A and B are shown apart, each in its own frame.
Chain A
Amino acid sequence: MAEELKLFRTWSSPYSLRVVHALKIKGLEYETIFEDLSSKSASLLQYNPVNKKVPVLVHNGKAICESLVILEYIDETWKQCPLLPRDPYEKAKARFWAKFGDEKLSSSIWNVLISQGKEQEEAIAAAVQNLKLIEEQLQEKKFFGGEKIGYLDIAFGWTANLISILEEIIDLKLVDEEKLPLLSAWMQNFSDDPVIKQCWPPRDKLVVKFQAMRESNLKTVLSQ
């Protein structure tokens, strides 16, 4: 019985990657449509008229938007390999930290990318504080989800993918093995997972992309 399952994504979008990870963990077959955000397809605009962004998951003609919303949809629709904890309190904690990751943590990391000098030093301090809070959630576990990758690992996946890219560009360490040992280990474990590894976007392309973002943002600040 063929189910229609389509994912609109870009090659680099970390939010799209979350959905890729979830679909792969659940062992689902799906069609990928790569979007060029400078020239969005009519289909994307039809399926996500409000935000006009990727990722969009289309399941039997119905469109679901916003990566964390899509993750929950996938988990509720396909019961194998559960992503979210069953216990409501553990679920609430996972949702809380995913939100923190997307709001406070990601903006603090962004600030490191687009700043320099003293401002960057301050940005780094703030980012490391946030990363410490994330690390505390790992405790003794291999993954945020426990023995296996779960919702929160997928939600934080962008850190495992992109922080090392940022470190290369700014030539500074954010996730120091000594200062953030558990998070460091988690990034390695997550990246080494066979399901995750096969989906990583090409590293050299990512470096070029984020280098360009840094330069254009620094130029904007200097010209103000």
Chain B
Amino acid sequence: MAEVKLFGSWGSPFSRRIEVALKLKGVEYEFIEEDIYNKKSPLLLKYNPVHKKVPVLLHNGKPICESVVILEYIDETWEGPSILPKDPYERAMVRFWVKFLDEKCFPAMWQACWSIGEEQEKAKEEATEFLKILEGTLSGKKFFGGDSIGMVDIVANFIAYWFMILQELAGIVVLTKEKFPKLNEWMNEYLNCSIIKENLPLKDKLTAVFQARFQAVAVAAAAAAPSVK
């Protein structure tokens, strides 16, 4: 029986964060693919009764939930390349930026892709503002973590990959090479790292899923729209 299990989903950036971290540390694990849209397994609901989400890491029978919490747990439990720095102030900076990414950037960027009209314009403006702040932190650094990828880089995965696919499908222009040269450089370096490259969902598969969702959203919006006499 595997000592380490990961309940995840092939398309989820949160799930992929954990796979990167485990692989970085050289930890052997069993991956359990969850069908998060249609039917979550009884085990997932047992191990994450509060949020009922992936990822969930199961270590010696004990579940750990929330990707950011899991990342810190992995860093504290296994030897190998550090995910967080050692210095308390540097660690505080990492935790600050991770919060910024998940609580500010991700929601705004996600909203910018999936909303319409005024709501979308507002989300695009917010996303742009947040990305500008992130761009500013990259001065003179190859990665957010310095010379090698760290927790901030791992957590920023949705920017480098998922968002780039989504913004094109949504027909919006937010993150461009011209407006964000440093982020663009970071994305190239990041997506070139073997540990990142080898742990991304297939672009075609992800595109197909997103396209289907865009169509479903459009159909629902049309059905909800008042009929014209």
Chain A contact residues, CB within 8 Å of chain B: 50, 59, 62, 64-66, 68-70, 72-73, 76-77, 88-89, 91-92, 95-96, 99-100, 104, 133
Contacts and interface: CB of A to CB of B under 8 A. Distances in A.
Contacts of B73: 88-89, 91-92
Contacts of B96: 50, 64-66, 69
A88 to B, nearest CB: 4
Chain A interface, DSSP helix/strand/loop, else mixed:
helix
B40 interface: no
A175 to B, nearest CB: 19
B66 interface: yes
Given A50-B133, A64-B89, A96 B95 contact: no
Interface residues of B, number: 22
Contacts of A92: 64, 69-70, 72-73
Nearest to B77: A88
Interface in B58-72: 59, 62, 64-66, 68-70, 72
B91 interface: yes
Q: Which 7 A/B pairs are nearest by Cβ-Cβ distance?
A: A76-B88, A88-B76, A73-B92, A92-B73, A69-B95, A64-B92, A92-B64
Nearest to B88: A76
B99 A76 contact: no
A89 B62 contact: yes
B50 A133 contact: yes
- Which residue among A72, A96, A133 has the maximum number of chain B CB atoms within 10 Å of its CB? A96
A24 B89 CA distance: 20
Nearest to B94: A69
Contacts of A76: 88, 91
A96 B68 CA distance: 9
Interface string B75-99: 0110000000000110110011001
A33 B65 CA distance: 37
Interface of B: 50, 59, 62, 64-66, 68-70, 72-73, 76-77, 88-89, 91-92, 95-96, 99-100, 133
Given A66-B96, A68-B95, A72-B95, 17 more contacts: A59-B89, A62-B89, A64-B89, A69-B92, A69-B99, A88-B76, A89-B59, A89-B73, A91-B72, A91-B73, A92-B69, A95-B69, A96-B64, A96-B65, A96-B69, A99-B66, A99-B68
A138 to B, nearest CB: 16
A65 B133 CA distance: 15
A47 B46 CA distance: 43
Given A95-B72, A96-B64, A50 B100 contact: yes
A62 B92 CA distance: 11
24 contacts: A50-B96, A50-B133, A64-B92, A64-B96, A65-B96, A69-B92, A69-B95, A69-B96, A72-B92, A72-B95, A73-B91, A77-B88, A89-B64, A91-B73, A92-B69, A95-B66, A95-B72, A96-B64, A96-B66, A96-B69, A99-B68, A99-B69, A100-B50, A133-B50
